[in-house]
Structure 1
Amino acid sequence: MSAVSITPVLEFLRCRTPQVWIDRALEELEVVLLDHAANELKAAQSAMTMMAKNPSKIDLLNKMSRLAREELVHFEQALKILKKRGIVYRPLKASTYASKMSKHIRKEQRENFIDTLIVGSIIEARSCERFDALAPHLDAELNKFYLSLLKSEARHFKDYLTLAQSYADEDIQPRVDFFLDEEEKAITLPDKLFRLHSGLPVEPVFSQVDA
């Protein structure tokens, strides 16, 4: 376990990353690094989109602004590591992890807003948990990088969840429980496409960089 405590994250999520996923990640490290970089950029874009859609929510603007800046720094750090390792950055086909939750986001504006924040919280929590799970198995450079991300990722998870409850008219726990159940399925069920956020690998090991 890292020096940064991610106990709240582990208590929040329904499950830890299965060992079979970690084993596959060590064999497909280029995929992990490329997908990680892309996810950091997506996270920053999502935060800025939420800011643009909610210009009067000052608490949200402050938290999402900081989150977006941090995610972009992480993106730049990931790009630097890719370049150092001779890996050309390019987009990968996205996993179905996020879509398995987002398809259940309600349509009505206020409910959509709350559900989107909850899903954002869960994604950040899983990122934190996966970085923590991977770090002990990686070389010194990647170990240091992933451990350095834990504090901010854990805070991002809390920020999303706190915002969801603060703007909701009722207790959000039932919706949180629902999406956590969906997230557990996405992590523990077989998944044909291996990514940073994906379920149990089922395909034989081969590079899925261009998949």
Structure 2
Amino acid sequence: MLNFRRLNKRYFYTMKAQLLPEIETFLLCPTPEGWIEQAKLKENESILLIDHANCEKKAAFTALNLIVRYTELGDLQYKLSRLAREELRHFEKVAAIMKRRDILYAYLEAAHYAKRLRHHLRKPEQERLIDTLIIAAFIEARSCERFYRVAPYVDEELSTFYLSLLKSEGRHYQDYLALAAQYSPTPIDERVTFFAEIEKEAILTPDDEFRFHSGATA
């Protein structure tokens, strides 16, 4: 019989060696320890799963919205249609876990994280597209880092599930960043640096409610 804990541990260290150094360089700070302590609490399990499901739906919506809005961009159409399908499959998997645990959907107000990033979207159409793609890259990278951070502290089923998401979340961050570079008429480095600081501030700002993308609760 397979030892899932041993497999998870092996996968954990493999992903740390292969993927996390790049993402930890891209992000300017790790997830606060205060958030991890909140995520470890059994009473927050339902909130974490419900908000995770919501995040997967929103990620699919973001990709689909870009496909509808920018029909003339062929590579964007192809990459984001695949990404949207993958996000919806992730949503279905979260929903299945919730069903097995008798966790019912309940209204959860979204974290302020994405709003803090999108507050800085530029208004001209092309610049807005580039900013949207860069912001999406940061959200995917933070999701990947957060799954990695919380995986050692949850039960076997959730740990296995979260670790299984690392590769796809990492690829999504890379796809969004590559599309931003492809469609920008100028190098995106300065804008990436700008949003890296905004993302750091967003993730370190205390929040009143625990959510998947919240900072440590105040």
TM-score scaled by structure 1?
0.93
Q: Structure 1 residues 15-24 or 2-11, which shifts more?
A: 2-11
1:101 aligns with 2:117: yes
Equivalent position of 2:58 in the other structure: 42
Structure with higher helix content = 2
Q: Give the AA of the match of 2:64.
A: M
- Partner in structure 1 of residue 40 of structure 2: 26
Q: Deviations over 1:127-180 (max 9, x none)?
A: 000000000111110000000000000000000000001000111111111111
- 2:153 is aligned to 137
Matched to 1:198, the amino acid is: S
1:175 aligned to 2:217?
Answer: no
1-structure distance, mates of 2:199, 2:209: 16
Q: CA deviation at 1:29?
A: 1.7
Unaligned runs of 5+ in 2: 1-11
Q: Is the contact made by 1:124 and 1:156 (CA closer than 8 Å) also made in structure 2?
A: yes
Q: CA RMSD in A?
A: 0.9
Q: How is 1:78-97 mapped onto 2 (pairs within 5 angstroms)?
A: 78-97=94-113
Structure 1 segments (4+ residues) deviating >4 Å:
none
Within 5 Å, which residues of 2 pair with 1:58-73? 58-73=74-89
- 2:212 corresponds in structure 1 to 196
Return the letter of the residue paired with 2:166: L
Contact 1:165 1:172 in 2 (8 A): yes
Tell me, which stretches of 5 or more residues in structure 1 are unaligned?
203-211
* Count of equivalent residues: 202
Identify the residue that residue 206 of structure 1 maps to in structure 2: none
| Percent identical residues | 47
Describe the superposition over 1:56-84 as per-residue Cα deviations: whole angstroms up to 9, x where unpaired: 11100111011000000000000000010
Q: Paired residue for 2:30?
A: 16
Structure 2 Cα separation of the partners of residues 160 and 93 of structure 1? 26
CA distance in 2, matches of 1:184, 1:113: 21
Q: State the TM-score, normalizing by the size of structure 2.
A: 0.90
Partner deviation per Cα, 1:103-124 (whole Å, 9 max, x = no partner): 1000010000000000000000
Aligned position for 1:114 = 130
Q: Give the match for residue 209 of structure 1.
A: none
Looking at structure 2, the residues matched to 193 and 171 of structure 1 have their Cα atoms a distance apart, in angstroms, of 37
Aligned-residue offset at 1:2: 4.0
Counterpart-to-counterpart distance in 2, 1:151 and 1:2: 13
Give a deviation string over 1:9-44, Cα, whole Å, max 9, x none. Answer: 111100111111101112212111110000001100
